[in-house]
Amino acid sequence: MLKIIQRYIAFNFLPPFLLSSIFFIMFLLTFQLFRIIRIVTNKEVEFSVIAELILHIAISFFPYSLPFSALLAGMYSMNKLSLDSEIIAMRSFGNNKFDLLKPLLIFGFIIALFVFAMGQKVVPYSQARFQNQVIRLTSKGVLTDIKAGHFFTDIPNVTLFAADVYKKGEVLGQVFIRAIDKNQSLERIIFAEKGVIAKTKASEMDIPDLKINLTNGNIVQRYQGKNNIEKIVFKEYEFPLFNENIAPGFVLKDSMRSFSELYRIIFNEKIRNQIGAGIYKTELEFWTRINTPLLVVLFLVLGFNLGINKGRGRSKNTSSLALIILVLYYVLFFFGVSFGKKGDIAPFIAVFTPTILLFWINTYLYKKLDWVN
């Protein structure tokens, strides 16, 4: 059982944590709302579909927002108690610093377990659902949005131009297509005399199947970083805009996999060999899902340490110190990830090295607290 003082600390922590979580999720949502508005405009999308899109993308932001919310709430609650001299009163009753940290740690572990559980299937499902719905809405408006003499860029990584458009966008004349395959670093330029858009129905969760049947044209393609250019002349060619093998858009493919799928891919030698160099990105996603719950606890402890320091009248600006630590952490994290994607360093080293450094900083700050146990 928690002491009355510990329950009081927990009560002071919960409101700022909930408010900051809502704030960070709404803040991240603003960047996606512009994209959603662009997609749903002039496509007669029902409000329920828009609400579903916002819900799923909001769920996918939980792992990003909760660590920051824990840090902010920890700093705010402890700083408030310090400024009100309640920390001094608690010390006078014989409470040591771990007594005050204990309720926050309990909250931290509960939040961390929640984040880890969400990362198992819920967040990947929401990202996959959002992705497929976006692609479905985009494909829905392709036939009506293609205009003669205008570049069509609603499809990610594809630029389409047609000099002539017939039959409500189903038949195109003098077609130009520029397509980029980022996975293979391949760029293709396609010219064709005629193109016919073929669309097949997809189930609710499948990616729509949308293709252009091109006739009498040529393909010029090259791999980035190489000087060789290939030219292919064709009479008939089927160019896929959307299908089960193509998932352009807002989220990475690995982020839509469940935790068990990532585990199976990483620790199955046969599958690893099939994926090749792409396995490094899969490993980064896997280890990041393990690392994020740890960040929740570490950020919360950091907020505890800095909140008490500031409340005890220290001259240093703990908000600036928190910002410096965050910048240092993420600079090291993304620097390591850039090498981890190429396989220059092991992905788990890239992910956990900044976390270990953050743990050391927390330990140092905790020991530096002016407290007589």
**Is 359 within the bounds of a domain?**
yes
**Is 252 within the bounds of a domain?**
no
**Is 151 within the bounds of a domain?**
no
Q: Are residues 358 and 272 in the same domain?
A: yes
| 252-281 mean pLDDT | 76
DSSP-assigned letter for residue 178: E
Other Cβ atoms within 10 Å of 245 Cβ, number = 7
pTM: 0.74
Q: Are residues 351 and 315 in the same domain?
A: yes
Which domain covers residue 304, as residue numbers? Answer: 4-138+258-368
Q: Are residues 89 and 178 in the same domain?
A: no
Q: Are residues 350 and 290 in the same domain?
A: yes
Q: Given a cut of 70, is residue 32 above it in pLDDT?
A: yes
Question: Given this model, what pLDDT does residue 264 score?
Answer: 85
Taking the mean position of all CA atoms in its chain, how far away is CA 73?
A: 22
Question: Given this model, what pLDDT does residue 244 score?
Answer: 44
Q: Are residues 101 and 174 in the same domain?
A: no
Examine the fold and report which residue of 242, 274, 307 is the final residue of a domain before the chain moves on: 242
**Is 248 within the bounds of a domain?**
no
Q: Are residues 12 and 116 in the same domain?
A: yes
Q: Are 231 and 251 in contact (CB under 8 A)?
A: no
pLDDT band at residue 250 using 50, 70 and 90 as cut-offs: very low
Examine the fold and report which residue of 242, 277, 297 is the final residue of a domain before the chain moves on: 242
**Is 363 within the bounds of a domain?**
yes
CA distances from 203 to 54, 200, 206, 208 (A): 21, 10, 5, 8
Q: E strand or H helix at 216, and its extent?
A: strand 209-223
CA distances from 289 to 13, 121, 176, 271, 294 (A): 25, 11, 41, 20, 9
Q: Are residues 111 and 223 in the same domain?
A: no
Number of domains in the chain: 2
Q: Are residues 200 and 127 in the same domain?
A: no
Q: Which two tokens stand for residue 246?
A: 């193509």
How far is the C-alpha of 338 from the C-alpha of 287, rounded, in Å? 15
Examine the fold and report which residue of 218, 242, 266 is the final residue of a domain before the chain moves on: 242
Q: Are residues 26 and 134 in the same domain?
A: yes
**285, 287, 290, 293: CA torsion to nearest 10:** -70
Q: Are residues 12 and 113 in the same domain?
A: yes
CA distances from 287 to 142, 297, 321 (A): 38, 16, 27
Give the pLDDT confidence of 92-145 residue by residue, as tens digits.
Answer: 777 778 888 888 999 999 999 999 999 998 999 888 888 777 777 766 655 566
Question: Given this model, what pLDDT does residue 371 score?
Answer: 60
Q: Which two tokens stand for residue 56?
A: 């799923």
